[in-house]
Every structure is written in structure tokens, then in C-alpha cells.
Structure 1
Amino acid sequence: MEEAVAGCVALLGTATDADWEKATAGRLEWSCRDTAEHIAGDLISYAGQLAGRARDAYVPFDITFDDGTDNSGALEVIRTTGVLLTAAIRTTPREVRAFHPFPFRSANREGFAAMGTAEVLLHTHDIAEGLGLNYQPGPELAEFVLTRIFPHVRPGASPWLTLLWATGRGELPGRPPVTAWRWHNNLVHDTDRLTLQGITPASATDLVGGGDGGFEWIEGGPYEGTREASTFLLKAYQSGVHRPEFGVFTLVRREDGRAVGGLGFHGAPDEEGRVEVGYDLAAGARGHGYATEALRALSAWALARDDVRTVFATIERDNLASQAVVTRAGFRKVSEEGADGELAYELSR
């Protein structure tokens, strides 16, 4: 976030003598001046959402430049609102979520950091294009955005060019032009004792590399199944077929914000509306009903959709604990002999 704002202010600071009112910002209908005001408005709005813990709507305020504010002053407002959003992100606990409409009506601090960074990068590009400046942010900034709020977009050789394409600002060979887009904050399902938090490609990358994925785990976590599931998530993301709502979720206890396991789908539903689910728990979290509670919630969500008719799971014959979980969640055994001697369980509408 700080790097994005610093790059914006540094580049546009070289053109403060230009007429920002007359210059149109790239492909937008706004002037460069209006776009600069829009950047500041987004940054302060996101800071307000986090600081105010807004739950159901945007906090009803906006920002406008004072009459007589010159272009240098406009950049000072962008710098200041960037500082405010950065402070809000750093001081907001990880488990806090605030309202944002796209696409699941909430975002955590990482989501707001990615959205704020995206606003700065993309609109600096727009203004630079309108003023005839060359803008090339570092690839790590674009990758930060893509792996957090564009999980449905197949990554390309250049993260920056991929981000421009994904937001209708550029072209990529072999990909059709984008005419409508929105970003994707992670989906969260709530249960009585848990939150099921969607794992982003950024978190999955960290988990596969042996990290914690940005979560605070109980001792013994994350379990190997969560890391393996993250590997499959990354493969789907890199192939451009990842559907985040049918991805992997970390199970986080409400009482202390600590992660206890993973639960998720093996992919999107097939043509018959069948979708496979799998789960694991850290050893210290077993025996408390967490897996059953999470499985019930995720299965109910899936079966309430038009594109899902059956949720199924395959379980090793000697894994009696897992068989008990699916049975308590309402699944019924449908096959004694699955692949590799596994048992198959289903839950239908």
C-alpha cells in the first residue's frame, strides 16, 4: 500500500504543471483531476470501513478537495489518505471484517489492502496515460493484488499486464477483451463456533511453501491435508479454472481466532451437480465436533445453490473418525468399494 502510494505521488508529482482538468484519464470518462480525487476518496472510504467496523453498508461520508487546491495539493491528499488507510490496516485485528459489496459483502484487512493498492495502481495508470507519462509499477504490487482479489483470473507472464487486462485496460495474447469486471474478496461462512475463511492464492502459496497462510494455528496445524488442498487450489488458479467459492476454507475458532483445520471442495460441481468435499483437523482440535459443524454449514450452503445437487466425500475404510463426521453431518454411505478401497458418502437435496 505504502509503496503504491509513494509511486503514485512521485510520478504524478512530475506533472503538476499540466492541466489535469482538461486531460481525460486513460479510458475513463473522468478528468485526471476527478480521478485523483477518486483515489483519495477510495482510500479514506476503505480506512473508514475498517476503523468504523462497518457491517452493512458504506459509512456515509465522502471527501472533496477544497476550492483552490492545486495539483500538488491533490497529491498531498492522496499521500495523507494513503497513510490513514495503512494505519487502519495495521491496527485492525485479522479477524475483523467490514462491509464491501464485491462479491460477498465483506472484506478483511488484507482485502482492503489489496483493494486500496489496486485503486492506486490502476488510477495512477489512468492519470499517467492522460498526461502522457510512462507508469510501470513493480510486478510484486500487481501480484499482491491479483493473488488476493483476482483469484478467478489466470496469472500471466507479467502481473502488471495481467492486472491491466483483467480490469479492461489492456490486452493479453490469446485472451478476449474484458468489458466488465469486479474483484473477488474471499468468502467466509459463519457457524456457531467457527468462521470458514476462504483461502486466497496468496495464502495457498504460503501454505504450500511451509508457512501458516496468514493464520494463527493451534499447535500441530496446519495439518498435511490443508497444505495438499492448497496445492490443488494453486494448480486450479494457475490454470484459470479456480472458482473461489468452491475452494478451500480455513476453520478458525471464534473464541480465540486460531485456526484448527481445513475444509473445502475438490473443484466446482460437475454437469450433474455433484461436488466433492474433504477436510482435516489439527490433532489438538479433534473430538470437539468442529469438523461436523463446519461440514454441515458448507454442505448446506452448497445444496442451497442451483448448480449443486449432491455433495459427496470419499473416506479411507480404516478412518473411522472421518466416517463418523460425515454420518453426523447427514451423509449416507452409497458405496462400499470406491477408488483405492475407499468408502463413498453422499448428501443430496
Structure 2
Amino acid sequence: MRSMGGEQVEQAVASCTALLRAAVDRDWEGVKAGRLDWNCRETAEHIASDLLAYAGQLAGRPQSAYVPFGITLDEGTGAAAVLDVIEATGALLAAAVRTTPRAVRAFHPYPFRSANREGFAAMGVAEVLLHTHDIAEGLGLAYEPPAELCDAVLTGIFPQVRPGPAPWPTLLWATGRGELPDRAPVTEWRWHNTPVIPAGRLTLEGVSPAAARDLSLGGDGGFEWIDGGPFDGTREAAGMVVAAYEQGVYRPEWGLYVLVRTEDGRAVGGMGFHGTPDEEGRAEIGYDLAEAARGRGYATEALRALADRALARDEVRSLFAVVDRDNSASHGVVLRAGFRPTSAADDNNGSGQGDTGGDQVAYELRG
């Protein structure tokens, strides 16, 4: 998998400036940019400002707010010079993405209060593509960026959006700039960076649909794995994420997390949910570890952290896990994490909760 990175930022900026340089002799200040309240010049300045801000976040790595600085252009700066600034700030973001370690996160408000380098790259690409569209619309230009860039944005920071007939129209629809058949117009929107959960010696890092797709196809998902990883269960769980995304029902906090060791940044396993909580507030949880990481307490630490976070939510009443009867290690994990066996009969609702009467045992943890 080619992770969203500096190359994609550069590609987006190149698509922007190649189009707009052909129109620098037009009136950018007297024309609104698409449906925005800004004129075309103000919108171009906004692109540059966002690229610089994202580069600043990755460079400064603040955890609670944006680095308090901005961009100011000299009075009388024309359209051609503004495009020069977009190229310069795009290069700064690309460089910041390339030189920032994978595990580093910096503040961004939506919706989990931080983003990693892939997230800032995806947001930068989105700003360039969407606002180039706005400017082009105001100037009467046709614009369609590379499909692979649009797909990378959608699968990276729009995990809640069901794929449409093509990536670019879907991205425009998802941001209130276009229409799709059989879908209501979008009036409010925001992108979603992946969640992270600290868990002692581990960090649980949420898996985007882009990373899940790569994992399900045999790739590494953008993570550096210990020997033997990822295990088959993690790849199967990644396939569940992809299926949920394609159906438009995926929600990042109820998906797959990769367990990353804080000491060396290497992934040791996967853990997550089989879907969002049902109408009774129950959610099923599953996990696995690469063989080389077993027997060290990692799964117990991660399960406690993930369960605590889930049960703190108002819509969750209980969690359950189904364990093979002969998997003594996994029985120990759920018991140490506070789960208890349940003898309730299988209610045939597809949850798998209760004594299956066969080769598996169900455990439950209530809030």
C-alpha cells in the first residue's frame, strides 16, 4: 500500500497550479469561488494557509491546540504569486510528512483531537482538491483531479461515506459540492481522522478503510509488524472493516485497532469490534496477537483499555467476546480483563452471546 504522504501532497498541488496558472490574468477578486463566500483569491490564500498550518502541526507537534501562527501575503500579491505560495507551502507540508515518524500525532479537533502524518497529508490533499474545484467553478474552468487521490482522501478521512460510482463525484457530494443519485444532499460535513487509545505498553491505533483494504489483501497496512504478524484474525477483521465501509455503515471507533508497542513502534496484533452496538447496547469484541507477542500480557492490557473506553459511552451497556473452548490463553485474557462467562442461551440474533453449546464459550462485561 502506498500510504497517503508527501508524494500525494505534491501531486495534488501540481494538479491545482497546472490548471489555475492558465487563468491568472482573470479577475480573481471580483468572482466568488463556487458556493463559498470567499472570492477566488481569498480561497487560494486559504489553501496556502491550510498547507502551512498542517506543516506547522507536524513540525511543532502540539497536543492541545494549533500552533498560533498564520500566513500573511504582501499587499498587492496577484494570482500568479499566490500560486507560488501554494507551491511553497505544499512543499513544506510534503517535507513535514516525509520526516515525521509514523507514530507521531499532533492536535486536530475532528473528531478524536489528533491526527498522524497520513491524516495531515490527507487533509492537505482534500483542501487542495476541493478548493481548487471552488476556484475553478468561479473562473469557469473544468477540473477533475486524479481518481486515485480522491479515493485516498475518501478511504483515509471519510470512512463514514459509502463509496459512490466514482471517487471525485463522491468526494464532491460528501462535502456539499455535488449530487449523487439516490442520496440526499449534504449540508454539514467533516472528515474523521483515526482514533488512538493509550494502553500501558501499547497504543491502539485505529485502522482506516485504506489501511484495512491493504491488510485484507496481504499488505502491512502501513504498520511495521513483529515477526509472524499480522496474524490471520487481524486480516479477517480488516476485511470486515472494508465490507462495512463499502456498505456505508463503518464507524471508526467501532472498527479495528492495531496494537503498537510504544517501546519500538512495532505492531503486535489487532483488536476491535464486529460492528457498532446493537439496539440493546451490546457490542462484540475480538482480538489476536502475532505468535511472537503472546504470553506477555499485551492482549489483557489492550482489552482493558478498549473495554473501558467503550463502556464509558452512553450507548453501550455491555461487551461480549466468544472464545474457542480449547483456547486456554484467550480464556485467561478475557477473565483477567474482567469478563465473565455467561450461561444465557443463544438468542439466535446473530450476536453469538451465551453458551453456544458447541466449541465456543461466550463472555460478557457489563458497564
So what's the TM-score if we normalise by structure 2?
0.94
2:328, 2:200 → 1: CA distance? 25
Aligned equivalent of 1:313, options 317, 321, 330: 321
Name the aligned partner's letter for residue 207 of structure 1: L
Aligned equivalent of 2:342, options 334, 337, 340: 334
1:37, 1:340 → 2: CA distance? 64
**Residue 179 of structure 1 pairs with residue 197 of structure 2:** no
**Residue 142 of structure 1 pairs with residue 160 of structure 2:** no
Q: CA deviation at 1:338?
A: 1.3
Deviations 1:46-75 (A, max 9, x none): 000000111110000110211121110000
**Residue 289 of structure 1 pairs with residue 307 of structure 2:** no
Aligned counterpart, 2:306: 298
Q: CA deviation at 1:341?
A: 2.8
1:3, 1:272 → 2: CA distance? 47
Pair 27,323 (structure 1): closer, same or farther in 2 beyond 3 Å: same
Aligned counterpart, 1:345: 363
1:205, 1:58 → 2: CA distance? 31
**Residue 42 of structure 1 pairs with residue 87 of structure 2:** no
Following superposition of structure 1 onto structure 2, how do residues 1-349 of structure 1 map, counting pairs within 5 Å? 1-335=9-343, 337-338=355-356, 340-349=358-367
1:37, 1:2 → 2: CA distance? 17
Name the aligned partner's letter for residue 209 of structure 1: L
Unaligned runs of 5+ residues in structure 2 are 1-8, 344-353
2:303, 2:22 → 1: CA distance? 55
8 Å Cα contact 2:272-2:287 kept in structure 1: yes
Q: Secondary structure at the match of 2:265?
A: coil
1:337, 1:150 → 2: CA distance? 38
2:232, 2:274 → 1: CA distance? 16
Pair 157,324 (structure 1): closer, same or farther in 2 beyond 3 Å: same
Q: Secondary structure at the match of 2:362?
A: strand
1:262, 1:99 → 2: CA distance? 25
1:190, 1:337 → 2: CA distance? 32
2:358, 2:244 → 1: CA distance? 24
Name the aligned partner's letter for residue 155 of structure 2: T
Deviations 1:159-205 (A, max 9, x none): 00000000000000011000000000000001111110000011011
Name the aligned partner's letter for residue 110 of structure 2: F
Aligned length: 349
Name the aligned partner's letter for residue 47 of structure 1: A
Unaligned runs of 5+ residues in structure 1 are none
Deviations 1:187-233 (A, max 9, x none): 00011111100000110111011100000000000000000000111
Q: Secondary structure at the match of 1:312?
A: strand
1:32, 1:298 → 2: CA distance? 46
2:257, 2:306 → 1: CA distance? 10
1:223, 1:339 → 2: CA distance? 27
Q: CA deviation at 1:340?
A: 4.6
2:116, 2:75 → 1: CA distance? 35
Aligned counterpart, 2:351: none
Q: CA deviation at 1:92?
A: 0.2
Aligned counterpart, 2:346: none
Name the aligned partner's letter for residue 282 of structure 2: R
1:278, 1:343 → 2: CA distance? 13
1:294, 1:339 → 2: CA distance? 28
2:43, 2:30 → 1: CA distance? 12
1:327, 1:93 → 2: CA distance? 36
Report the identity percentage.
Answer: 67
Q: CA deviation at 1:339?
A: 6.7
2:357, 2:139 → 1: CA distance? 61
1:61, 1:287 → 2: CA distance? 48
8 Å Cα contact 2:342-2:355 kept in structure 1: no
Name the aligned partner's letter for residue 40 of structure 2: C
